[in-house]
Chain A
């Protein structure tokens, strides 16, 4: 049973560019959440998608947007990249929004903005 799959694993972008990160949730899960983790810090919640809609959002600017598809997979888009957007981006999936319970995390996408 595959867990959460994220792609790509690593990415280098130039300041001002746009990036799209992808996530396939664990089989049977219908909720996807995205997190940003800077080096040495805990993951910071970006937003959560359920039934193809953004259900909750953390303290991130509108440059961060997302989408969930009918098959529950999800994308995270970041526009106008800043150097400070360099981080590990984690996707987590769960069933029906029980994110506080048994979320399954992917290994993340390491984004470097130069």
Chain B
């Protein structure tokens, strides 16, 4: 399974757009890119998934360049409640491999 690299932590302010970039140099042809959000003492929650180009849903956008060696999760106009750990995962039908994730801290 492809290994992912993300920043350990990020700070931002309420109302700002936050972009979290994930590196996955060894991504395989069949791999999808999936992002999860986790609050303390809760299970991870699916945010968004993509294969290439751009995917947008009601909570986030996912940008994937043509070489698919990285991806960027974009959270528009964050609020205090977006403070959480965000995990980038790469894989297909296989088991999920979580890295350490990015701790996002939103400041008032």
Which residues of A pack against B, CB within 8 Å? 4, 33, 35, 41-45, 48, 56, 58, 88, 90-92, 97-108, 110
CB-based A-B contact count at 8 angstroms: 66
Task: Considering the complex, give the chain A residue whose CB is closest to the CB of B48.
Answer: A102
In the complex, which residues of chain A have a beta carbon less than 8 angstroms from the beta carbon of B44? 43, 90, 92, 105
Task: Considering the complex, give the chain A residue whose CB is closest to the CB of B44.
Answer: A105
Stretch of B10-18, B65-73, B75-83, B91-99 that contacts chain A: B91-99
In the complex, which residues of chain B have a beta carbon less than 8 angstroms from the beta carbon of A58? 95
B43 within 8 A of A: yes
Mask, B83-95, CB within 8 Å of A = 1, is: 0000101111111
Label chain B's interface by main secondary structure.
loop
Q: Whole-angstrom distance from the CB of A68 to the nearest CB of chain B?
A: 15
B98 touches A88 (CB 8 A): no
Mask, B29-46, CB within 8 Å of A = 1, is: 001101000000111111
Task: Considering the complex, give the chain B residue whose CB is closest to the CB of A9.
Answer: B41
Known: A42-B101, A44-B98. A110 touches B91 (CB 8 A): no
User: In the complex, A45 Cα to B36 Cα: how many Å?
Assistant: 15
User: In the complex, A107 Cα to B45 Cα: how many Å?
Assistant: 10
Could you say which interface size class chain B belongs to? Answer: 20 to 34
B100 touches A97 (CB 8 A): no
A99 touches B94 (CB 8 A): yes
User: In the complex, A101 Cα to B49 Cα: how many Å?
Assistant: 7
Known: A100-B32, A100-B34, A102-B49. A45 touches B96 (CB 8 A): yes
User: Other than the known A42-B87, A105-B44, what 7 A-B pairs have Cβ atoms closer than 8 Å?
Assistant: A4-B43, A45-B97, A48-B95, A97-B93, A99-B96, A102-B49, A107-B41
Q: Whole-angstrom distance from the CB of B30 to the nearest CB of chain A?
A: 10
In the complex, which residues of chain A have a beta carbon less than 8 angstroms from the beta carbon of B97? 45
